[in-house]
Amino acid sequence: MITKIVLAIGGLFVAGMVLLLVVFGWSSSNAQQTNGECSMLIIERKIEPANAATEHRRACMASRG
């Protein structure tokens, strides 16, 4: 009986860790994709000064969450 409880708690812990890793992986992937899209917009719009490009990227990233 105690063994089943310990295994159930261990299984829940492992499942929680896997879920946490999946969520963080998806979030990181989404941020990288958004950063790439914003970088492409800077290139397409030919925003030259570094400070203007930085402000544009910051505004673009903020608008996309």
Q: At what angle do helices 2-44 and 50-63 cross, to 10 degrees?
A: 140
28-57 pLDDT, tens digit each:
888 888 888 998 888 888 888 888 888 888
- In this model, does residue 24 exceed pLDDT 90? no
Token pair, residue 32, equals 């990288």
Place of tokens 């402000």: 55
Residues sharing a CB contact under 8 Å with residue 38, sequence separation 6 or more, in sequence order = 56, 57, 60, 61, 64
